Structure 1
Amino acid sequence: MKPATYILDPEAEVFRIYRRELVDGTPGNPVWFCDGLKQVCRFDLTGEPGTCYVSSSPDGAFIEVFQRIGGRGVPYTEVEKRSLARLSVAGEQKALVDLNVNANLGIMGIDAQLVHETAEGYPRSREFAQQAFGEGLQGVRWNSLRDLTGSRVNFALFSRVSGEDEDKILNIEETEPIPDWLASDIAAEFGVTVLRSPALYPIRDVSTVIS
């Protein structure tokens, strides 16, 4: 049985936060398809293909990047190193496996454990992505596990080639430094104080803040 899919229409807007400069000094790219070799992300494919991770909103993209960082918090300098990209879907419609549909439970091994997987290396999610890609599906749609409201949706988009967007699956509409309003809104929503460098921001145990 085929799973229910979500159709991502051409020209649909999605968002991604990326490093302007990588650790080796090379420029970052607004659209990058991970191959799971240097750093394993949830729905990375194995071999030549790659996966690009985008969100339905700028705030969704923000929490996917910065809520991953543990410890006392995120240095504001890390926010300043990154830019926000507004992208649009190029070409034809993209059929994505929808993990937000109850009817998909039991199909292709989809269950609550897969939907909420946080295990190191994401073994089940990566196996699932490989199966979906092999069956001609073009990605995965799921609610952010970092957002209890369920309003922020993520997309993992598959490409035949990893690296930069060689197949033009996504168009780059605009890039800009992460705006202050975005950082402030997330800080307010998640109940932390907006702190500037050298303090830590925005994910922080507020009990450690010295007034």
Structure 2
Amino acid sequence: MKNLTKIAFAFLLLAGLMMNAQALKKGSVTYKLALTGNEEAAAMMGESTLTIHFDEKTQATEMNMMSGMMLMKTITPFGNVKDTKMAVEVMGMKYEITEAGEEALNNNNGIGNLENATDVTYDKKDVKEIVGFKCYKANVKMADGTSNAFYITEGIAPQTPIKETKIKLAGYPLEIITNTPQGEMTMTATSFAKELPKDCFVITGEGYTKVTMEEFKQQMSGGGM
């Protein structure tokens, strides 16, 4: 369960690698998640998706892993990470994580994080169409010498980075391929909607146990599961 939690946080961090541009400024993108190079972790993750809802003030991510056995939602106001709200449902247990913002980012430092990027180059000849948008490739070089691939579109306004970075992308990623300790992770968009779902920026439902991030990690590592 601890490794699965790391995978989930890694994908959530990838969801925050955005900046502003003149294009569509609100919408919902759903991605299919894939992990290769680590059969055990891939099997544990199972069929998984990530949906990002955004407007000019807020981003919400909804993670669905293991065909619904693990659900995770984060809501982050741009420019105010400390007010991030986070809820997790796993194996029948429901947690609302307090003070999730900074803890969540610190837990994932270096996993697909543009904070550690040193250079970006664009290849506008390497193009593909993803959910109706023309995308081209951005190669991002990391401080450890590895490179990650982003297929970006300028048709959707990228969001403000959750953490300030020296390297910024020229468009919104609709496919991300990055190397992590758990294997090669790929996020590929499967749908885009211009209209936001009702209540996408609030945590709904009852029965959540409030815990700190540290208490949650202890639960996931075996202390309470």
After TM superposition, is the score higher than 0.5? no
The answer to which structure, 1 or 2, has the higher relative contact order (CA under 8 A, 6+ apart) is 1
TM-score tier after normalising by the smaller chain length: under 0.3
TM-score, scaled to structure 2: 0.26
- Give the structure with higher Rg (CA): 1
